[in-house]
DNA sequence: TATTGTTATACTCTATAACTATA
DNA sequence: TATAGTTATAGAGTATAACAATA
């Protein structure tokens, strides 16, 4: 890895993330209506994937502080995408689950994110995409 | 691309960027001393690579608003990494150039960023790294 | 009129620390 | 004592709009 490679890698990663953000913002009418943000969308997808989870698990999985997760969940709850229920075994934890409205919304999110990723990944062939995703998984 | 693939890709990209940030912050004593931030480091590398540039070019290349670039350059100027000179041909533009101090610092930045990327990329073999960088370049 | 760069302002994302209620 | 979650607050990073100087 030469200094040029290093700079290239940093720049390309930065650009990719900014392209993703830029593509999601204006395009995602359905997401913008709801204004859940990128992290909000990821939390909803995580819940769709794994079922009800405690807040501490969510914050660990997403790599964000639990205080941030508290506010995020409150926001999602306020918009009706998520509901909480007490955990019978440990009364400190409240389980966070998708509502039917949240389930419908998360399908929109996945569809829109899918279109945007499809567009961004379009320069790569099928094999290259798989290799890219696999390499990303190892990192 | 199934919904699972989409979610995976989003999550993995998010994690990679957060790992990069997390690895840079505490580790980079030399960078932390100067507190130029990630974007500041990238601007210095860009200047090291391409020589003096107008602010408008910098803001376009880095994909950030020019008002943000104004403040960033003022900060770098205050720390002595960068100096401005008037453009003889167009008196509206002021060219931004590395100072000798900035040149020395940018080598530190590249070294530290190199170590961090080396560590993060360590799960990939040489061929995989090249493929990853190449695929990133196509996006 | 259009463009370079500046200032002022506000909004989002994030981390830290102090707190509560349970365990 | 330790853990789950909350609140308050502060700091980055970013975008928008209004502006001055030059083209």
Q: What is the pLDDT of residues A56-83, one digit of tens each?
A: 999 999 999 999 999 999 999 999 999 9
Q: Which residues of chain B neighbour A114 with C-beta distances below 8 Å?
A: 1, 3, 6
Cβ contact A110:B10 at 8 Å: no
Q: Is A5 in contact with B133 (Cβ distance < 8 A)? A: yes
CA dist B77 and B106 (Å) reads 14
Residues 6 or more apart whose CB falls under 8 angstroms from that of A129 comprise A121, B1
Residues 6 or more apart whose CB falls under 8 angstroms from that of A105 comprise A34, A44, A81
For range A115-132, the mean pLDDT: 91
Q: Is A139 in contact with B5 (Cβ distance < 8 A)? A: no
Nucleotides of C under 7 A from a protein CB: 3-9, 12-18, 21-23
Taking only the tens place, the pLDDT of each residue in B8-36 is: 888 898 889 888 877 876 665 556 678 89
Count other C-beta atoms under 10 Å from residue B130's C-beta.
12
Beta strand pairing status for A53-54 and B94-98?
Answer: unpaired
Q: Which nucleotide is nearest to B72 (CA to C1')?
A: D13
Q: Tell me which residue in A17, A49, A110 faces B13 most closely, judged by beta carbons.
A: A17
Query: CA nearest A3 in B: which residue?
Result: B110
Taking the CA of residue B100 and the nearest CA in chain A, the distance in Å comes to: 18
CA B56 / C1′ C17 distance in Å = 41
Q: Is B20 in contact with A6 (Cβ distance < 8 A)? A: no
Cβ contact A98:A106 at 8 Å: yes
Q: Which residues of chain A neighbour B128 with C-beta distances below 8 Å?
A: 135, 138
pTM: 0.89
Cβ contact A102:A81 at 8 Å: yes
Please enumerate residues of B whose Cβ is less than 8 A from a Cβ of A.
1, 3-20, 42, 45, 49, 62-63, 110, 113-114, 117-118, 120-121, 123-124, 128-129, 131-133, 135-139
State what percent of residues in chain A have pLDDT above 90.
Answer: 63
Which of B31, B135, B21, B113 is closest to A2 using CA atoms? Answer: B113
Taking only the tens place, the pLDDT of each residue in B95-128 is: 999 999 999 999 988 888 888 888 899 999 999 9
Radius of gyration of chain B (CA): 18
CA A92 / C1′ D2 distance in Å = 13
Residues 6 or more apart whose CB falls under 8 angstroms from that of B78 comprise none
pLDDT higher for A40 or A2? A40
């Amino acid at each position: 890895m030469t200094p040029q490679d290093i700079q290239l890698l940093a720049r390309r990663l930065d650009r990719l993330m900014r392209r993703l953000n830029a593509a999601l913002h204006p395009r995602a009418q359905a997401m913008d209506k709801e204004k859940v943000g990128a992290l909000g969308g990821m939390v909803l997808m995580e819940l769709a994937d794994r079922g009800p989870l405690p807040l501490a698990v969510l914050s660990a999985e997403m790599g964000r502080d639990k205080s941030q997760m508290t506010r995020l969940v409150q926001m999602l709850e306020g918009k009706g995408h998520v509901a909480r229920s007490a955990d019978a075994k440990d009364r400190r934890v409240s389980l966070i689950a998708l509502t039917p409205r949240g389930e419908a919304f998360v399908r929109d999110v996945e569809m829109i994110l899918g279109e945007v990723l499809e567009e961004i990944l379009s320069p790569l062939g099928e094999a290259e995409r798989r290799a890219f995703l696999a390499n990303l998984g190892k990192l």
